[in-house]
Amino acid sequence: MDDTHIRLADFRSAVFFIGAGMSAESGVPTYRGRGGIWAQYDYGEYACQRAFDRDPQNVLDFHELRRQTVLGCQPHAGHHALAALQAAHPQLHVVTQNIDGLLQRAGVQVAAELHGSLWRVRCARHGVREDLAAATYATRACPDCGAPLRPDITWFEDPIDEDVFTRAGERIAQCELFVAVGTSAVVYPAASFIPLAQRHGAMMVEINPETTEASSLFMRTLRVPASAALSQHFSA
């Protein structure tokens, strides 16, 4: 095997830290940069609590369009390779910044969704519920109190979900192998998990066709798309 091949059996535990680049390969629009969602739309109209309070139906319409877009995209070879690796290596934990659910559609078990999910909604009073309907929401109002249900997503200006970030941090601090896949390493506080893994002595691997602000923290870099890297450079 060449020195770019990584065998998971050599590590007691691993964390794969997934960013938007993983989903972009399936055609899911990214958030920043050329072609990104927030280059085309004003988050203040569609992706913050103020917008939801002002016009919840407009915000929900927008997120239904996002759901429709995601449903038109399919998991790629990298998603399926990661699911197979995880099935063979139970101590492979996946932490994702993505909200699109492509990992789960490929059969990946996700330990922490840092920024929530397009496929859940929540009521401020009655909590979170799954909404796995097609593009349209199964219901836009809480069946218990009638209040509008907002997407269970960490929007601009929202606080992070402390429990989810704590769970992710515990996995990352304990892992022996840390693999960052398609993450720009500029979205904080999620990006702070990269130096956390390094400080705790993990083997650091970056999968990204481009260099990032955190590239110097990695011991190995695979400058290829996630689909190729995960299917060709890793084995159980």
Per residue in 107-134, pLDDT tens?
999 999 999 999 999 999 999 999 998 9
How confident is the model at residue 35, as a pLDDT? 54
Query: 171 and 209 share a domain?
Result: yes
**Rounded distance, CA 71 to CA 133, Å?**
11
Both 130 and 146 in a single domain? Answer: yes
Same domain, 172 and 220: yes
* Residues 192 and 229 both lie in one domain: yes
Same-domain pairing of 167 and 221: yes
- Write out the residue range of the structural domain in which residue 193 sits: 1-27+75-115+154-236
Domain count, the chain: 2
CATH code, domain with 135: 3.30.1600.10
The verdict on 125 and 177 lying in the same domain is no
Domain end marker among 153, 176, 200: 153
Predicted confidence at residue 133, as pLDDT, reads 80
Is the model's pLDDT at 218 over the cut of 50?
yes
Cβ proximity of 185 and 32 under 8 Å:
no
Kind plus residue range of the DSSP H or E element containing 180: strand 177-181
- Which residue, 162, 187, 176, 50, is CA-closest to 112? 162
200 shares its domain with 89 = yes
What CATH number has the domain bearing residue 183?
Answer: 3.40.50.1220
Q: How far is CA 121 from CA 137, 139, 202, in A?
A: 9, 9, 35
- Residues 129, 54 share a domain: yes
Q: Are residues 57 and 38 in the same domain?
A: yes
- Are 221 and 123 in a shared domain? no
φ, ψ for residue 33, nearest 5 deg: 80, -175
Backbone φ, ψ for residue 116 (5° rounding): 90, -160
- For residues 205 and 169, state if they share a domain: yes
How many CB atoms within 10 Å of residue 157? 12
The model's pTM = 0.94
Given 115, 126, 200, 233, which residue is catalytic?
A: 115
Active-site residue flag, 115:
yes
pLDDT, one tens digit per residue, over 70-87 is: 999 999 999 999 999 999
DSSP bridge pairs for 203: 177
Mean pLDDT, all residues of the chain: 93
Does residue 32 carry a pLDDT above 50? yes
As a whole number of angstroms, the distance between CA 1 and CA 177 comes to 18
Q: How far apart are CA 122 and CA 131, in angstroms?
A: 10
In a shared domain, residues 174 and 89: yes
- Helix or strand holding residue 232 (H, E): helix 226-232
